[in-house]
Amino acid sequence: MLDPAMARRLRDIVGEKHFKDDPEAKVAHSYDGTPMLQSLPDGVVYPDSTAQVSEIMKVLAEYRVPVVSRGSGSNLCGGTVPVQGGIVMVMHRMNRLLEVDMDNLTATVQPGMITAAFTEHIESLGLFYPPDPSSMKISTIGGNISECSGGLRGLKYGTTKDYVLGLEAVLANGEILRTGGKLMKDVAGYDLTKLLVGSEGTLAIITEATLKLVPPPAGKKTMLAMYKDLYGAARTVSRIIENKIIPATLEILDNPTIRVVDDFARLGLPRDMEAILLIEQDGDPEAVERDMEAIRLICEAEKADRVEVAQTREEAEKLVAARRSAFTALARLRPTTILEDATVPRSRIADMVLRIREIADKYGVSIATFGHAGDGNLHPTATTDARDAEEVHRVEQAFAEIFEAAIELGGTITGEHGVGVVKAPFLEWKVGASGIAVMKGIKDAFDPHHLLNPGKMFAGETRKRVVIDRG
């Protein structure tokens, strides 16, 4: 329950319509894209400007009320679930594209703008913004920055962090911070821009971003390589990289994923294949031709059953769109879909795929695998039923072991989804005790009263590492 005087002050800042504490608003902001997590906030506020965000933060700091800033809530780490109540700050009204600087090739945008709307506009100007999370049709730029979203083009073009040049953010005490700018080079002090990207709303509330744009590639080709053997498909991924070819997109889908995606998209995907690779290369048309031919030879050497090149742009786009639906489409199989985000060095992708299979078998759970194989980022996804506590427990055990395996192979617990609530117990496995200590020090410097997205990133307790039974 919020202090009525505080609620009054928030209403005065944003207007009667833009502060809500009725049951409807609370329920509708108690979840995000993550399964099995829900927690009601005490109120919801919709600011319209940096000045309003600053005023709101001053009030919240005075009353020591926590706040979760939120875009569309499509994240998958529990990052925007208000686990300690307080205020949810929805950034949707701050959705304006402030400037496209055609001389410097930058765009300045407010955090609430939908990613797909942004990229469409940028492309209409003959420019290119490469980060493309699968949720781009609904996710916001601010959310992408907070979670450092990846996507299908990460392999060649990098992820969100590689395109954020400058930020405006409001600190926990309401002060406004500006970092970076329209600069390609800037080493003045610590890189606060990079620090805020991927900080999951725990350090500051992002209110504006300056993003780097690049010239669009001149040509693009899309290929499907189909395999009767999952391991062969995964090995192909490592071989392509070994051969010094970096495709724009290199995705893997295993058989259960192929089937559900085809049920949704009705593209006539090969349902009898154990795996398919979706490969795109872009750039100078001649170089694209050359790379695609070399890739085709590698696929065939690794015993691909069939290799097909999309004949039209439309066909290629349909394939990519279908791949983006994979996570949600898997919900056709069982009521609850738990998607994870284990990432390994690219040379170890085939080993990781095998380990996931072994672990799923060991715990008797059903795990489909798809993901950005080219950057070592796999999304093993358990299809289960939240009402079956015993099975969910086995799924959790299997995932703990999958993270363990990823770290053993030189990988990480999350490649692009973030830590949030879900991975918090595992963070120390990756960064070590000293890493946690430094991170906590940074958190204290930005947010001494722990008002910004509390309960995220740092767990009360680190999970004990699973002892792997290699019997």
Partner 1 sequence: MRCGFCLPACPTFRETGLEPESPRGRIALMKAVADGIMEPDKAFAEQMNHCLGCRACEPACPADVKYGQLLEQARDAIEDHADHSLPAKGVRRLFFKDVLPHRSRLKWLGRSLSFYQKSGLRQVARGTGIMKLFPPAMREMERILPEASGKGVVDRIGTVVPAKGEPIARVALFRGCIMDVLFSETNVRTAELLAEAGFEVVIPDNQVCCGALHAHSGELDQARGLARSNLDAFRDAGIRHIVSNAGGCGAQLAEYGHLMHGDEEYAELAVEFASRVVDVSQLLLGSGRLPAFTEQSGGVRVTYQDSCHLRNGMRSSGAPRQLIRQVAGASFVEMKEADRCCGSAGIYNVTQPEMAGQILEHKMEHANATEAAYLLTSNPGCLLQMKLGVQKHGDPAAMKVMHVVDFLHERMGEPASLSAAGKQG
**Which parts of this chain interact with partner 1 (CB under 8 A)?**
22-25, 27-35, 40, 72-74, 90, 92-93, 95, 114, 116, 135, 137-138, 260-261, 263-264, 325-332, 337
Instruction: Tell me, rounded to whole angstroms, the distance of Cα 112 from its chain centroid.
Output: 16
Residue 332 CB, nearest distance to partner 1 (Å)? 5
Residues 6+ apart with CB under 8 A from 358: none
Residue 139 CB, nearest distance to partner 1 (Å)? 8
- Residue (19 or 157) nearer to partner 1, CB: 19
Residue 72 CB, nearest distance to partner 1 (Å)? 5
Residue 87 CB, nearest distance to partner 1 (Å)? 15
Residues 6+ apart with CB under 8 A from 226: 270, 273, 275, 276, 304, 305, 306, 307, 308
- Residue (231 or 264) nearer to partner 1, CB: 264
Residue 80 CB, nearest distance to partner 1 (Å)? 11
- Residue (15 or 432) nearer to partner 1, CB: 15
Neighbour order of strands in the sheet with 176-180: 97-101, 106-109, 205-212, 164-170, 176-180
Residue 322 CB, nearest distance to partner 1 (Å)? 9
User: In the numeric block, which tokens belong to residue 323?
Assistant: 């791949």
User: In the numeric block, which tokens belong to residue 355?
Assistant: 């380990």
* Burial classification of residue 471, based on how many CB atoms lie within 10 Å of its CB (0-12 exposed, 13-18 middle, 19 or more buried): exposed
- Residue (72 or 149) nearer to partner 1, CB: 72
- Residue (27 or 102) nearer to partner 1, CB: 27
Residues 6+ apart with CB under 8 A from 27: 40
Residue 158 CB, nearest distance to partner 1 (Å)? 24
Residue 216 CB, nearest distance to partner 1 (Å)? 24
Residue 323 CB, nearest distance to partner 1 (Å)? 11
Alpha carbon distance 316, 304 (integer Å)? 19
Residues 6+ apart with CB under 8 A from 142: 69, 71, 91, 94, 110, 111, 112, 113, 206, 209
User: In the numeric block, which tokens belong to residue 68?
Assistant: 């979760």
Q: Give, to the nearest 10 degrees, the angle between helix 349-363 and helix 230-242.
A: 150
Residue 94 CB, nearest distance to partner 1 (Å)? 11
The set of long-range contacts for 183-190, using a CB threshold of 8 Å and a minimum separation of 24, is 184/212
Residue 162 CB, nearest distance to partner 1 (Å)? 25
Residue 466 is given by DSSP the state P
Alpha carbon distance 403, 7 (integer Å)? 43
Alpha carbon distance 179, 443 (integer Å)? 17
- Residue (367 or 405) nearer to partner 1, CB: 367
- Residue (329 or 457) nearer to partner 1, CB: 329
- Residue (166 or 371) nearer to partner 1, CB: 371
- Residue (30 or 144) nearer to partner 1, CB: 30
Alpha carbon distance 393, 119 (integer Å)? 40
CB 455, CB 419: distance < 8 Å: no
Parallel/antiparallel/unpaired status of strands 87-90 and 97-101: unpaired
Alpha carbon distance 48, 384 (integer Å)? 40
- Residue (25 or 288) nearer to partner 1, CB: 25
Angle at 222 between CA 150 and CA 270, to 5 degrees: 100
- Residue (87 or 237) nearer to partner 1, CB: 87
CB 53, CB 170: distance < 8 Å: yes
Residue 338 CB, nearest distance to partner 1 (Å)? 11
- Residue (33 or 376) nearer to partner 1, CB: 33
